[in-house]
Copies of this chain bind each other. A is one copy, B any other.
Amino acid sequence: MTMRPPATVGMKLAEVDTPALILDLDAFEANLARVAQAVAGTGVRLRPHAKSHKCAEIAKRQMALGAIGICCQKVSEAEAMVDAGIDNVLVSNEIAGRQKLDRLAALRHRAWVAVCADNAGNVDEIDAAAARAGVILPVLVEIDVGAGRCGVQPGEAAVALARHIASKANLSFAGLQSYQGRAQHLRGHEERRAAIDTAIALTRKTIEGLAAAGLSCDIVGGGGTGTYGFEAASGVYNEIQVGSYIFMDADYARNLKLGGAPVDEFAHSLFVYATVMSHPAPERAYVDAGLKAYSVDSGLPLVCDIAATLDRASDEHGNLTLLEPANHSLVGDKIRLIPGHCDPTVNLYDWIVCIRAGTVEAVWQVTARGALL
């Protein structure tokens, strides 16, 4: 059920079959290096989120540039990464159910693996799985620092849950998961800063409560592509969990920097490559990439290479409005689209086609594509 790759090494870009996920290696490597350099020497560790790329080759490159490990969101994602040789994985999410927890605990025999919790009953279940596997599993307390999603409340509730973890024979308390997901896409720089200032204060308060209870945090993790600079400079967070920075998607590019101009720290490196398959009127054309080729939850893709907008998508069609109506047929022309949201778009592909100077340099497997369990 793995589909054939749309390209082979050495092909010209124009020869790549479509729809394909293509990666501009120069832009990608510059993005990789930028965050690595931003945290180097600060004492803050980099633990990029693999949910964005699901690609072991990319995880290895992140670690080669200094990342101390990765985050995953699913046990099956962590399994795929450990299978590929990644030896340090934080599952930055709650995991419920015996099947998943037994698999998670088994991984601990092969790699450093940790998980998050926000519920005492779930902690009991994690401990039981660790006991069955004969391992000590590090567990972080997830606190809700303003996103209003998972996580216990900062302060007393978090300290109580940390004590519960520390009391378990087969668990160790490993720190705090303090990710403010909603702050990542707040458009204004000051809005993002204010949200993270709140997250930092709530996290600091919780660390102080833990210290008073004799509990220390090896990991205080959070920070995404939209805000990581704030967390990294906080003196409170010691691990940064950026994911999308390597790719940049259309939605992240709508964020604004101080002064109000669009953010420009990272370049778009990830594109969906598509072919015009129908051009029935001068101002209308259709590409072969639709809802199964990109996620539309954060808006439709942006069109590169021609003056057009993509106004609607159905299962296998992307509807282009040509801003310069063309009387000659565009059928067969190939264009690049910038996905609205990179994470669920990457998950639709088995392969990432890596391009440098117009030529396919590599074709990487999306190792954990479809890793839902």
Contact = CB atoms under 8 A, between A and B. Distances in A.
Interface stretch (A32-40, A200-208, A254-262, A271-279): A271-279
Contact of A2 (B1, B148, B315, B347): B1
Contact of A277 (B93, B277, B372): B93
A309 interface: no
Number of copies: 2
Nearest to A293: B372
A17 B291 contact: no
Interface stretch (A62-70, A131-139, A149-157, A163-171): A149-157
A148 B283 CA distance: 12
Contacts of A313: 297
Interface residues of A, number: 73
Contacts of A94: 277-278, 286, 331
Interface string A274-292: 0111111000101011011
A73 interface: yes
A271 to B, nearest CB: 14
A276 B96 contact: yes
Contacts of A349: 370, 372
A339 to B, nearest CB: 12
A180 interface: no
A327 interface: no
Nearest to A51: B315
Given A278-B118, A316-B73, A347-B292, A373 B6 contact: yes
13 contacts: A3-B372, A17-B373, A73-B315, A74-B316, A94-B277, A119-B329, A119-B331, A125-B332, A150-B317, A291-B341, A292-B343, A292-B344, A292-B347
A17 B264 CA distance: 42
A100 B100 CA distance: 40
B125 A280 contact: no
Interface centre among A1, A51, A288 (most CB of B within 10 A): A1
B365 A1 contact: yes
A369 B1 contact: yes
A18 interface: yes
Contact of A150 (B6, B144, B280, B315): B280
A76 B3 contact: yes
A332 B296 contact: no
Given A292-B370, A292-B372, 10 more contacts: A1-B365, A4-B76, A93-B277, A97-B275, A119-B278, A122-B331, A149-B319, A292-B347, A293-B372, A349-B372
A153 to B, nearest CB: 8
